[in-house]
Every structure is written in structure tokens, then in C-alpha cells.
């Protein structure tokens, strides 16, 4: 099993990086769509329905598969012997960041459901503030992995 993990490691790592990039793009873009949905959808007939479709497709066809792929590849890399030294701090801070990012993903899913149900209660300003969450998490995760403190 160890030989297989070492053999596929560069491929898994490549796929992981691509999945994380796609997931992050969605995490940055979806709150911005919510800002526009709140602030401009009422100005144009049918715009709210268009935003609903855009948000749904972004979540379902880009963000969810990217998140799942990032998680699977990350777990495979964790199981590769010699890659993670659990006595260091960095795997724990990265793990906490990834769990927080996953929570944020599902928070966005719930907000999209609020829009679909016509029950959104947040303002464009609040969505703009929440748009900073993935940036903070990205900083924690990247510094953890690169600096390896």
C-alpha cells in the first residue's frame, strides 16, 4: 500500500491543488453573488431567479465537487507515510482551517436555500464582510503548509 501511495502522491497532490483552487474561487465568488442578489435583484424583473440559478449551479457543479475532491486528495496525502509529522503544529492549524472552510461552505449553502425560500435576512454589507472569511482561512492554511511551524 505504501508503494502505491508514493507512486500516486504527485498526481494526488496536483489534483488536490486544482480542486482547492476551484473550491476557493467559488468561496470567493458566491458571497459576491449574494451581494448582487440582495442589492440589485429587485431592480430587474426575473433577476432574482437568474441569481438563484447561478448560485445553485456554482454550488452544485463547481464548489461541491471541488470540495469533495480536495478532501479526498488531502486525506490520501495524509495517509502517505512521511508526509505529515503530527508532532508539529502546522497539520493541526491546516486541519482547523480546512474544517472552518468546510463549515463556511455549508453556511453559504444555507444562505442560498434562504434566497430560494425568499427568506434571506442578511444585507449586502454583511455578505461583503463574510466574503473576507475565505481569505483569512486561506492565509492560515497556506502559511501552515508552506512555513510548517
Range 115-123 contact pairs with CB under 8 angstroms and sequence separation of 24 or more: 115/34, 115/37, 115/48, 115/51, 115/52, 115/55, 116/52, 116/56, 120/34, 120/37, 120/38, 122/34, 122/38, 123/38
In sequence order, the 6+-apart residues with CB closer than 8 A to the CB of 19 are 66, 67, 69, 70, 73
pLDDT tens string 34-55:
999 999 988 889 999 999 999 9
Question: What domain count does the chain have?
Answer: 1
The domain in which residue 83 lies consists of: 2-147
pLDDT tens string 7-44:
999 999 999 999 999 999 999 999 999 999 999 988 88
Q: Which three cell numbers stand for residue 91?
A: 497539520
Amino acid at each position: 500500500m505504501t508503494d502505491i501511495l508514493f507512486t500516486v502522491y504527485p498526481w494526488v497532490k496536483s489534483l488536490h491543488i486544482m480542486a482547492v483552487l476551484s473550491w476557493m474561487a467559488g468561496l470567493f465568488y458566491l458571497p459576491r453573488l449574494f451581494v448582487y442578489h440582495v442589492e440589485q435583484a429587485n431592480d430587474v424583473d426575473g433577476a432574482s431567479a437568474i441569481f438563484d440559478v447561478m448560485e445553485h449551479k456554482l454550488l452544485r457543479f463547481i464548489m461541491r465537487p471541488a470540495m469533495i475532491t480536495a478532501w479526498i486528495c488531502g486525506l490520501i496525502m495524509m495517509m502517505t507515510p512521511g508526509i505529515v509529522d503530527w508532532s508539529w503544529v502546522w497539520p493541526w492549524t491546516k486541519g482547523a482551517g480546512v474544517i472552518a472552510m468546510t463549515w463556511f461552505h455549508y453556511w453559504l449553502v444555507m444562505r442560498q436555500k434562504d434566497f430560494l425560500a425568499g427568506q434571506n435576512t442578511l444585507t449586502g454589507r454583511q455578505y461583503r464582510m463574510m466574503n473576507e472569511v475565505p481569505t483569512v482561512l486561506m492565509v492560515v492554511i497556506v502559511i501552515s503548509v508552506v512555513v510548517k511551524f
